[in-house]
Chain A
Amino acid sequence: MDFFSPNTKLYDIISSNPKFLHLLSRFGIALGFGDHSVKEVCESNHVSTDLFLLICKVYADDSYIPQLADFEHFDMDGLLPYLLQSHRYYMDERFPHLEEHLSHIIKAAQPKYAKLLERFYDEYQSEVDKHFKYEEDTVFPYIEALRAGKSDKHFRIAEFKRNHSNIEDTLDDLMNILLKYLPGDILPKERIEISYDIMELSVDLVLHTRIEERVLIPYVEFLENKKS
């Protein structure tokens, strides 16, 4: 039997790799799901089993490509809320956490380094804000409208596809700076800890981008083609 199937125990999937833990809150699946199957838990939480498993497969396998037929048959209603939930998690939890850590390092560093780090992080934050804001204010509403059968002459998902920047590169740069280039005596323990967080967040952001590129964009292209 395929591991990512409706009859697999949800717990078996979630516990197979820490990255699947994120799926619970993003899909709004309540804890205490016992030993029920994916299908049972999804149904009682009003989550599309097909969509849940599709996301699992893309998370698990970096070469997995969804079939166009999937979009025809799957209930895709939960995709945008899932992506929005991910954004909230990054903006409301991960980045503030990172910032908190970083502020300790900034406080401990000489003014020269402090200013550098502060500026670097501020610039990064505004880049991230812009990235998510563009998706939430322009791309997602377009998709909602398209799903509702309305068309927009001025926007096509191809535009998003072209401009989709990656926000994990600068995060990796931050880790390079913290581990390799900042003088060794400034809060080394905290710098190692923050690097753990950065690596974890970076992996999660890569998966997030993969979902947008492998699922969201092809899905919207499918909708656009169907309409025209």
Chain B
Amino acid sequence: MRSRVIICEASEIITTGLTTCLEEQDQYSVVARLNAPDRLSEKILSSDADILIINPALLGYTDRDLPVQLAKEHPRLVIVALVTSYHECGSLKPYDGVIEINDTSQKYISKLNEIVNQKKHDEKSDDSFELSRREIDVLIAVAKGMTNKEISDQLNISIHTVISHRKNITKKTGIKSVSGLTVYALLNNLIDENEVYK
């Protein structure tokens, strides 16, 4: 089945060219072409897209967090930056990958394939249901009511790592709320009642 692609780019020439490149390949089909990022999340849902190719230049200062937000709302969506001008390296971090306007059409496709495969690999790599030792440490800290900042200081890991551990804990246990995680920790004797309810 073809991957469903949304292109969000202001220039029609670029959109049309990219669509042609992609659709020459059996694995891609362009399901929507947008010239502005309005109501993007809804359009991703309604077109059931797998891949979003978006020009970061379309995002103003107020919606600079859009890729992060979209990744949260659509965890399986592959978000690719289509770069037509210079961007600070850090600003492209939230994207799963980058394709550049000056690349050849072959390069577009090979890069896109690579980005999609990497995303699939990332999803699969952590498929155990057991909590790791580090995840248990984080879980205990969460159950005690510590903030991400406090956990990061205590365990000497970055806040980003704390958040990623928390995501995995939720993925493995199915429990999202702090109070639910506290009950989980108590039921599994990871912490003592006195440490939580004072």
On A, residues with C-beta under 8 Å from B are 62-63, 65, 112-113, 115-117, 119-120, 123-124, 169-170, 172-174, 176-177, 180-182
Residues 153-194 of chain B, each 1 if its beta carbon lies under 8 Å from chain A, else 0 = 000000000000000000001111101101110111000010
Evaluate contact between A181 and B177: CB separation under 8 angstroms: no
With an 8 A cutoff between CB atoms, is B45 at the interface?
yes
Evaluate contact between A173 and B177: CB separation under 8 angstroms: yes
11 new A-B contacts, CB < 8 A, other than A172-B174, A173-B175, are: A63-B42, A65-B39, A117-B183, A119-B197, A120-B179, A120-B183, A170-B176, A172-B176, A173-B176, A173-B177, A182-B187
Interface of B, helix, strand, loop or mixed by DSSP:
helix
Assembled-state Cα–Cα distance A113/B186 (Å): 9
Evaluate contact between A177 and B183: CB separation under 8 angstroms: yes
With an 8 A cutoff between CB atoms, is B46 at the interface?
yes
Evaluate contact between B177 and A63: CB separation under 8 angstroms: no
Q: Which residues of A contact B46 (CB under 8 A)?
A: 63, 65
B42, B175, B182: residue with the most chain A Cβ atoms closer than 10 Å: B175
Evaluate contact between A173 and B180: CB separation under 8 angstroms: yes
Shortest CB–CB separation between residue B130 and chain A, in angstroms? Answer: 14
Known: A169-B177, A170-B176, A170-B177. A181 touches B183 (CB 8 A): yes
Evaluate contact between A63 and B180: CB separation under 8 angstroms: no
Evaluate contact between B187 and A120: CB separation under 8 angstroms: no
On B, residues with C-beta under 8 Å from A are 39, 42, 45-46, 173-177, 179-180, 182-184, 186-188, 193, 197
Residue of B nearest to A173 (CB): B180
Known: A63-B46, A65-B39. A116 touches B177 (CB 8 A): no
Interface of A, helix, strand, loop or mixed by DSSP:
helix
Q: Which residues of A contact B173 (CB under 8 A)?
A: 176
Known: A120-B180, A120-B183, A124-B179. A180 touches B174 (CB 8 A): yes
Residue of A nearest to B44 (CB): A63
Assembled-state Cα–Cα distance A207/B184 (Å): 28
Residue of B nearest to A115 (CB): B193
Interface residue from A62, A116, A123 paired with B187 (Cβ < 8 Å): A116
Shortest CB–CB separation between residue A114 and chain B, in angstroms? Answer: 12
Residue of A nearest to B46 (CB): A63
Assembled-state Cα–Cα distance A177/B173 (Å): 9
Evaluate contact between A177 and B45: CB separation under 8 angstroms: no
Interface residue from B39, B179, B188, B193 paired with A181 (Cβ < 8 Å): B188
Evaluate contact between A177 and B175: CB separation under 8 angstroms: yes
Assembled-state Cα–Cα distance A63/B49 (Å): 12
Assembled-state Cα–Cα distance A174/B177 (Å): 10
What would 22 A/B residue contacts be, using CB atoms closer than 8 Å? A62-B45, A113-B187, A116-B183, A119-B179, A119-B197, A120-B180, A120-B182, A120-B183, A124-B179, A169-B177, A170-B176, A170-B177, A170-B179, A170-B180, A176-B175, A176-B180, A177-B175, A177-B184, A177-B187, A180-B174, A181-B184, A181-B187
Residue of B nearest to A122 (CB): B179
Assembled-state Cα–Cα distance A63/B175 (Å): 26
Shortest CB–CB separation between residue B75 and chain A, in angstroms? Answer: 15
